[in-house]
Structure 1
């Protein structure tokens, strides 16, 4: 297999690159290297003769055609996306361009390649999406693969649009696709604008630990290396033209998550006085902040035999340990646009 991964220098994409190369797969990493990308994320994989890198924007159809012709991938895993909800509130245009039009151009390039190659039965276009397309849950219930779409932010609306495009290309043109919708990821190499790295790095720097609203918003937390394993499982075993929800089976409120991170830091790098939890502060909530996400994992568990390998406490401990040992990685990113700023006030 030659696997073309879009967004392979990003957080989730780089985890897939590292895992795929370690399993002996030939990988082509296609990334535009925008603000959240970092080639250090795949430095070890890049030493392998199985790895290739192509810098290109998925909105550049001519560049995509050249890359498909050069590498002749037997599968595409589409992860390239603008993904930060707060940034989508401040600047939705980039999300429409990359997530909607970029997906369109990639689908067309993949369809042209698949057709040129004689429409091989084993070709796959794996589209990676988010549970945020389903909207917001109340205190009970879970998202299934048939939950109606109800996106509430420019980000989730753009991802919902891309999901619909993929399904349309499967139905109209017969493009062989599989789809996944994941819950909130965390883990090593997480760009320092999302909740978990913000809390870790602010705590170490003695800054406030900002929590939106009253901290009661609930998310299902998925360790990124578990997610990478699930994605490769779906690519290998998933039924054609079928979607799979991937969850961590680890629901926590934002406040519970932050308190857990503080407790881990108290143990691994204690302060001279007091707890890191003393730095918790509550800030004005994000506009349109969804109350709760939760994944029903039965389809992927029952059909493909996959389930997460770590609890959120185990995964957060690994994550904190990684950040404590990799200051050079995150320090190099802290001057990038928007890092350390409160975005998405509306």
Structure 2
């Protein structure tokens, strides 16, 4: 019999409770194991024969590559662009296809594929080869074109997942999602009497902030609590001369005013930093409602590693009044 192992925390406890209920109703308690947050993924993957990825959108899929390198056979939902990254025979579009691939899985078959194609040394050499003369002058600043506009991004740490992805693709991170956001925002802007605001909660180094500020007419308010990430965000705003269009705030967002401590979960993935509420914490937490006032909001991007519901609870007035994307 097969056993499904699930790694990672649940952002919404209701989903976890629902799954537990459903598993009990179906009598699958012995076949599904929840492991919660896993710090050492290579070790955890060592005895797993198959990696099932059901993601809807990925710029790459770090968990897929890690699993393949550990010897797991990949069974991957055919998200947009998946066929340009992973073997066609590993992609599925229906549940039936996924089941068939799992039954036919051969552990270790794709270990060499991922090691040869996505070895970190090879990636860094490819990045250096792609850098043009302008980029070569400042190795930590990447220049690229986006819809006719020259974008400059300060990328001080290429071991970080997002920064490495930007440098490797010479483009914004999660382009498909960003383009969808832009087109939807255009529709909202066309119907608005005044130019609305976009809010980027958990702005990190400014990938989404810089995209929205350069590719739409909306002013952007970017919140990033981590000092290191905020410094890079601030520099990227300056590099693209967006000081008049972007307001950067070195604070977190939550359900109510509070204090928090920053938890660094993976030094090679800045996007996994998270806040833990703590009265003695050195990071202020504010509500979006108190920050935004009466300004109309068209779009809210929230990436806060488990605090999404708290952020939304602190934005009830915005959600009720503006119904933003």
TM-score, normalised relative to structure 1: 0.30
TM-score, normalised relative to structure 2: 0.31
